[in-house]
Every structure is written in C-alpha cells, then in structure tokens.
Amino acid sequence: MHRTHCGIVPPHLLTRLAALQDPRLSAASRAARHALLELQPVHRIRADALRAPVRRGSAVVGTLARRIHDAGGREELPGTAVRPEGGPVTGDAAADEAYDGLGATYRLFSEEYGRSSIDGAGKRLDATVHYGSDYDNAFWDGERMVFGDGDGEIFGRFTASLTVISHELTHGFTQYSTNLEYQGQSGALNESLSDVFGVLVEQRELGQDAAAAPWLIGAGIFTEDVQGVALRSLKAPGTAYDDDVLGRDPQPATMADYVRTTSDNGGVHINSGIPNHAFYRAATALGGEAWKAAGSIWYDAVLSGDIPSDCDFPTFARATVRAADKRFGSGSREVGAVAEAWAQVGVVP
C-alpha cells in the first residue's frame, strides 16, 4: 500500500543535484534523480494519510515501544527486525541512532506535553534503516520512519542528525492531530511544526536553553565537502548553506520575502522559514528552556481545534496567541512574546 512520503531533503535541492554534470559527483546526481522519482507519487497518496484518525486526547497510556528494521540496501519495507524495545545495542550506528532518536521524540511529547506517542494512543514507533542504495532522503511514510544512508558525496547517513529523526517523526504527530494539507501555507506550517518540535527534541536531550541552542535542522548530514551547517536554520532562515553545488539556502524569515511558487507544493519547504522564525523569536524572548513555555503554547495550539486543515499563517498565529492566553493568562509576558514574534515576521500587524 502506498503511503505519503514527507522527505527531509527539499525537492529543490534534489532537483539541483539531479542536474549535475560533474563526473566527480556522479553518485550524488544519480541518487538525487532516484530520490526525486520517489517523491512523484506524493500528490496521489497523501490523501491516504489525511484520512488517518485524528486523536486529540493527551492522557498518557502505555509505555514507549520501538522496533527497528534493516532494509539491507533494498527498497522493501519493513526489512529485517534488528532491535525491539529494550533490545541490546546492535553496534550498527544507523540502527542505534534511530532507536535513540525515536525514544527522545517520544519522551518530549510524553513527559512535557502528556501525549502518549505520536497518535495520542500509545502507537509503537517503527523505523527502517539502510533503505535503498545511496538513498538521499529520510521520510515518514504515514506509518513508519525510513532512513537512507546518503550518497557519500553530498549527504551522509540521515540518522546522524537527531533533528532529522525528530522532524520526520513529528510529521506523524501532525498527521494524527491537525492533518494540515501539504500545500501552500498549510503545508509550510506542516513542515514548520516538524522543524519546531524537531529542534525542541534535540535541545531537551542536550539540555540547551533557547539562547545557547543552534536552532538547526539537519546538522551533521552534509559531508565535509559541503559549505553549509544544516538544511535549515530557525534562528536565521536563508543562512543554513551557501555552496557551489547546492546553491544558497532560499528560506525567507519574514513575509516581505515570501516565495510564490508552484513547485514543492507551493514552497512548503521554503516558506516554512517564516513560522519557524516566529517560533524562534517567541522562544528566545521568553528565554530558558524553549520546550517549556513556547513549546507548550505551540503544542496547545495544534490540539486546540482551532487549526483547520487548510490553515494559513495568520490563522495559526491567532491560535498560538489564544493558546498562550489560555495557559498563561491575558496580559502575560507569554501572550506578548508570541504576538510580537508574529508581528516581527510580518504575519500579523
């Protein structure tokens, strides 16, 4: 059965790599062309995921359950089971990183927000590593996490970044909570939620406060030959990479630079920089541990029932302000910080 693929590598990067003529990067070009083919069925199969049951309850039930499989270089899922919940370390970096990353994501949602797994009902977290040969992506397929090992020229293994794991698994949370349409501003919000909770998982695991955190998505997946630190930056959208091969990070930080395009489902991986930066500004204005105040406000907004599937940026902004008001009170510094953050990125007056 086909399922939706929310890949971590934006289509514009894959398209650029696929067009390379440099024989020194033949593996990267070939891998990108193949990864693009994997994205083509997205529009037809996304409806399957949108019909998933929405669970907004937050009572913690059950316990963490994970299962890691190894595809062994084939594009067949799930692969061979290599590490069940509580199983010993395998010694395979990708399998053990996936296991740890799933656990870190579960702990954020469970221990901070009281949600039982990504669906709110204790769903087991499954992942497959070593998917395909030189596969240039990691994705949530509507049911499980899937990780490639990269082409070795531009990308290394995708489990090397905790934010990649937590970003993709958060697509599952969004699937089971808001079902944001993967198009235009609602699609950019879908991507932004994954970036927001993705960095919060990493910050919580590393004990970083908002001021000290790097606010990067995908740090560690580029090879040493790439001039860039990550795929995206919430702190400074548009600065994550500037490379002769990859080009320059195209993300805008404010509505003044909003990108109108028909590619990438209306620029979902590009314009997500705007709500990303709004969250960064709110979190740093409040200070301390970003997964506490700012993270809880965004989480409350997602589960508030105020987020339609075709939600645009202003609607989401108003929902976060209402969530801050409900949690911290009218006139609180939290309400002010959230409202000011959306104003600073030009989403609301």
- Residues serving a catalytic function are 168, 269
Distance CA 161, CA 271 (A): 22
Nearest CA to 105 out of 172, 59, 155 is that of 172
- Residue 259 falls in which region: left (phi positive, over 0), alpha (psi -120 to 50) or beta: beta
Tell me the one-letter amino acid at 334.
E
E strands, 66-198, where? 66-70, 80-84, 125-129, 138-140, 145-147
Sequence-distant (≥ 6) Cβ neighbours of residue 47 within 8 angstroms:
none
Nearest CA to 25 out of 227, 255, 293, 245 is that of 245
Nearest CA to 192 out of 230, 241, 234, 141 is that of 234
Tokens representing residue 148 in the block: 């490639």
| Helix, strand, coil in percent for the chain, rounding step 5 | 45, 10, 45
Tell me the one-letter amino acid at 216.
L
